Amino acid sequence: MLCRRAGTGRAAVKPVPFARTPPVPPSLVSSRPFSSTSSRRALWGWLPDPSNEPLAGTGLGSGGPPWLFVLEVLIGLPTALWVYKCIMLVLFQRKVIYMPWLPPGSRDEPLSAVTATGEMGDMRVKEVRIVSAEPTKWLRQKVEVRAIEVGWKEDDEVAAKRPHVVILYMQGNAGTPLNRLPLFRTLLHPPRTSSYSSSPRTLRLFPRLTLLAPAPRSYWLSTRATPTERGILADYRASLAYFHATHGPDARYVLYGHSLGGAAAVGLLKQLQQGPFACHSHSDDSATPTSEPRISGLILENPLPSIPFMVRALYPQKWLPYHWLGPLAFDRWDALGDLERLKESSGEMRSLWIRSGKDEVIPLGTEEGVKSGELAGKDGVRRMFEAWVKSTERDGGEARSEWVDVPGALHDLAYNERRWRQELRAFLDDVGRT
């Protein structure tokens, strides 16, 4: 390596002094050893220096137990979890109320897949498409409702001699119409006691039954739209209009509501009292006003009293925050309130109320609640029945309402019981003869 002696070669370069940094205020000067991170925190002023020392009241010292930490665990953590869960339940309540995805895979199952298995038996099933009067919630697009029309295979000449009863079936909050084909077979099967007599005086024929089971929006093959109370009622109303336009005014019309469909049946009756509706067909998008069908019968099987009632019944403890979430329901389905506030009753309409003895979905009333007189302890379905009968008697109508208990039956399996079959057939026979 070559080096030059001092003073020889090129002139020495003078050093350039470094720029001075601005002095730090004494209040921001830290006693910790200088570092680039601590200096930046000190310059910002609001960033504290990191420390491993515990906060006051959270450490195990000579002063006693860490009360602040104990309060955070016993009070703060449960409160935070409750607040979070309440917010999620309110925001996503329609995901809890409406479950069209149950059972898994049934949402995309076509009718042809069921007919290929031979499960239809003697039933005649066809698929129907109906355009609802209520568009989608956000994009305001057309909603197409898929339904199945079910009847029993029989000779047309014999069927023409019998009275015709058509049933609009309104389902619960889960499943598809195809999942309820066993129920429809039990309901539509002609009773063995029916006989045909040549004498007109002794003519005693069981009515010819036709059932329409629509799948409201987001269910089965219907349009995937956000289900709401207003939209589902519009879907059922359009289905009733289609039924009336297809079978005419001579048929007797019966509304059959199960679970959430029971609340929909009450809401549909309320709407029918308010004014005419529009009929839509699958081939024409235009709405044609049609006369309202005369509802001859109402069947309610384990109907839903209301969403707020269910919230209070499922969480009866008043110290739980979930007990007070009922007023925050987007879709109230207040069938109990509609019946208690009913101004115009249908005194000429027959009604059948079916209650499962072991209903695991709609809570049954407790003996303690009935004796104490608390409304929360009473059976909500029984309260609906009492409100219906009271409105009928108030208007001077004939009480033609019947309450049927089905002991041992679950929420969805009452149709397997013998009493269910007997009472349903007797009720439909009476509707057909009136």
pLDDT classification of 73: cutoffs 50, 70, 90:
confident
Point out which residues pair with 128 in neighbouring strands: 147
Q: How many domains does the chain have?
A: 1
Segments forming the whole domain that contains residue 107: 98-190+205-433
For residues 173-180, give the mean pLDDT: 95
Q: Is residue 62 part of a domain?
A: no
Confidence band of 59 (pLDDT split at 50, 70, 90): low
CATH code, domain with 383: 3.40.50.1820
DSSP at 174: B
Per-residue pLDDT at 67: 76
Inside any domain, residue 67: no
Is residue 141 within 8 Å of 153, Cβ to Cβ? no
Instruction: Read off φ and ψ for residue 52, nearest 5 degrees.
Output: -95, 5
367 in any annotated domain:
yes
Mean pLDDT of 336-358: 83
CA-to-CA dists, residue 31 to 38, 42, 129, 339, angstroms: 10, 11, 80, 76
Residues 6+ away with beta carbon under 8 Å from 291: 244, 249, 276
Residue 197 is assigned to a structural domain of this protein: no
How far apart are the C-alpha atoms of 122 and 191, rounded to whole Å?
Answer: 14
In a domain, 234, yes or no: yes
pLDDT at position 376, please?
Answer: 54
**CA 12 to centroid of chain Cα atoms:** 89
Contacts 24+ apart (CB under 8 A), 329-333: 329/93, 330/93, 330/94, 330/228, 331/94, 331/97, 331/228, 331/229, 331/307, 332/229, 332/306, 332/307, 332/308, 333/229, 333/260, 333/263, 333/264, 333/267, 333/304, 333/306, 333/307
Residue type, 105: G
Residue 55 lies in a domain: no
**3-class SS at 64?**
strand
The proportion of the chain whose per-residue pLDDT surpasses 90, expressed as a percent, equals 55
Summarised one tens digit per residue, pLDDT across range 269-322 is 999 888 665 555 444 444 444 566 889 999 999 999 999 999 999 899 999 999
Q: Is residue 174 part of a domain?
A: yes
Task: Note the pLDDT of residue 16.
Answer: 56
Q: What is the dihedral of CA 384, 385, 387, 392, to 10 degrees?
A: 140
